[in-house]
Amino acid sequence: MHLRIYLIGFMGSGKTTAGKRLARALDYAFTDLDSMIEERYHVTIPSLFEKYDEHAFRTLEHETLKDTLTLPRHVIATGGGTPCFFNNMELINGSGISVYLRLSPASLHQRLLNSKKKRPLIQRHPPAEVLDYIKRTLDERDPYYLRAHHIVKGEDLDIGALCRLLDKKEAT
């Protein structure tokens, strides 16, 4: 089996939930990149965006991603923007197996409306404009996400099927 599995995808794609389930199924540890940033710098993500700016957040995100590159037997849920800045996607693909949880803008919108997590990039848009923001940003980000080793449909994700997919990759 691979040492590290990175879950990537848009905000609300279920990376954290799927990551925890996948880690349990594989008997791996689970790490959430946003939580690592918050612990490492003693600051919440919303206050990072508020007190500084997105650029500052991306720098700390990049530095923290580097800390994950040698973690043994880990499933790592990245932030929605992680693959799209610096050489992050190269680092991810060079150090582990990446899985893109791909969902339609409508599904992402629905999930984000129901989510309790505070997301500064969503909150800065009036509710009526969130779907447009998702469509526009997903178009920009897809070229990065599509560089993942595996692309799976994020709606009704089957963790057992994902485990088998990851196993098969190892055998080839």
* Least distance (Å) between residue 141 CB and ligand S3P: 8
Give the C-alpha distances (Å, rounded to integers) separating 98 from 132, 157, 166.
27, 16, 10
Give yes or no for residue 119 binding ligand S3P (CB under 6 A).
yes
Give yes or no for residue 105 binding ligand S3P (CB under 6 A).
no
In the sheet where 74-77 sits, what is the strand order?
Answer: 29-32, 74-77, 4-8, 97-102, 150-153
User: Which range of residues in 66-74, 76-84, 99-107, 151-159 is near ligand S3P by CB under 6 A?
Assistant: 76-84
Give yes or no for residue 154 binding ligand S3P (CB under 6 A).
no
d(CA 142, CA 10): 9
Selected binder of ligand S3P within 14, 79, 105, 154 (CB under 6 A): 79
Selected binder of ligand S3P within 43, 71, 121, 165 (CB under 6 A): 121
Selected binder of ligand S3P within 11, 76, 108, 166 (CB under 6 A): 11
Give yes or no for residue 81 binding ligand S3P (CB under 6 A).
yes
Helix, strand, coil fractions of the chain, as percent rounded to 5: 60, 15, 30
d(CA 158, CA 148): 18
Give yes or no for residue 14 binding ligand S3P (CB under 6 A).
no
Q: Which of 106, 97, 108, 107 is nearest to 147 (CA)?
A: 97
Task: Indicate the residue among 125 and 164 with the shorter CB distance to ligand S3P.
Answer: 125
Show the site string, 27-66: x = touches ligand S3P by CB under 6 A, - = not. -------x----------x---------------------
The answer to whether residues 84 and 137 touch, using CB atoms and an 8 Å cutoff, is no
Identity of residue 59? T
Give yes or no for residue 83 binding ligand S3P (CB under 6 A).
no
DSSP H helix total and E strand total for the chain: 9, 5
List contacts with ligand S3P (CB under 6 A): 11, 15, 34, 45, 79-81, 117, 119-121
